[in-house]
């Protein structure tokens, strides 16, 4: 029951791509266990992207991420961390395969629509950073259990 933190960035929200992005994960067979829209604070985003704090693009990344609401989600299912990254596409949209979210909807790295955890450890850290335990819904889905998994 692996989980990943997937976030639609402010450009994705402004451009009306929330439904399409959620639909891709639903149609693949992953289970949505947490979802909220919020305008994150600078401090919250600096903590989220703490590993990048020394990069030259860090200030512009934070400005981009505080520029509007994001949609924060937790998705669950087999290999979701790795598959979520594949569904998002490469960091630079010009290197993202067509068929991926970034490859279909974006052009530049600084407006690349979505975030996905890059490892199971990152996922656990990010989920705890964005959600309280009681905001995550651990429900049983017999349909997914029988018809997505053998
Ligand atoms: P996330 O899923 O958002 O974490 O992206 P990533 O894991 O594919 O890339 P990374 O964690 O290295 O960078 C985080 C985010 O910083 C990227 O998604 C971009 O929005 C931004 N970013 C990374 N590299 C650059 C860069 O060279 N220039 C600019 N402007 N932004 C960058
Ligand atoms: Mg990253």
- What is the structure's pLDDT at 97? 98
- What is the structure's pLDDT at 87? 98
Confidence of residue 18 (pLDDT cuts 50, 70, 90): very high
- What is the structure's pLDDT at 6? 99
Q: Which ligand is nearest to the CA of 5?
A: 1
Long-range CB pairs of 123-131, under 8 A, 24+ apart, other chains included: 123/2, 123/3, 123/4, 123/5, 123/81, 124/3, 126/5, 126/48, 127/3, 127/5, 127/34, 127/74, 129/44, 129/47, 129/48, 130/5, 130/7, 130/48, 130/72, 131/34, 131/36, 131/72, 131/74
CB 3 within 8 A of CB 80: yes
Q: Which atom of ligand 1 is nearest to the CA of 51?
A: 11
Q: Identify the residue whose C-alpha is closest to ligand 1 atom 24.
A: 109
In a 3-state reduction of DSSP, which class is residue 114?
Answer: strand
ipTM of the complex: 0.96
129 as an active site residue: the answer is: no
pTM beyond cutoff 0.90: yes
> pLDDT (tens digit, 9 = 90+) per residue, 112-141?
999 999 999 999 999 999 999 999 999 999
Tell me the mean pLDDT in the region 76-104.
Answer: 98
Q: Identify the residue whose C-alpha is closest to ligand 1 atom 6.
A: 91
- What is the structure's pLDDT at 17? 98
CB of 83 within 6 A of ligand 1: the answer is no
Confidence of residue 107 (pLDDT cuts 50, 70, 90): very high
Q: Which ligand is nearest to the CA of 88?
A: 1
C-alpha to C-alpha distances, 124 to 5, 99, 127, nearest whole angstrom: 8, 27, 5
Tell me the mean pLDDT in the region 18-46.
Answer: 98
Which of 44, 22, 34 is closest to 113 using CA atoms?
22
How many Å lie between the centroid of ligand 1 and the Cα of residue 91? 6
């Amino acid at each position: 029951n692996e989980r990943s933190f997937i976030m639609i960035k402010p450009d994705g929200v402004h451009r009306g791509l929330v439904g399409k992005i959620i639909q891709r994960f639903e149609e693949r067979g992953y289970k949505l266990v947490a979802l909220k829209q919020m305008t994150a604070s600078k401090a919250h985003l600096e903590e989220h992207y703490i590993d990048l704090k020394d990069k030259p693009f860090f200030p512009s990344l934070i400005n981009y991420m505080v520029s509007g609401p994001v949609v924060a989600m937790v998705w669950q299912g087999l290999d979701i961390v790795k598959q979520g990254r594949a569904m998002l596409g490469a960091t630079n949209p010009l290197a993202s395969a067509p068929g991926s979210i970034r490859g279909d909807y974006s052009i530049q790295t600084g407006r690349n629509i979505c975030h996905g955890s890059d490892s199971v450890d990152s996922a656990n850290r990010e989920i705890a950073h964005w959600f309280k335990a009681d905001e995550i819904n651990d429900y049983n889905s017999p349909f997914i259990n029988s018809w997505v998994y053998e």
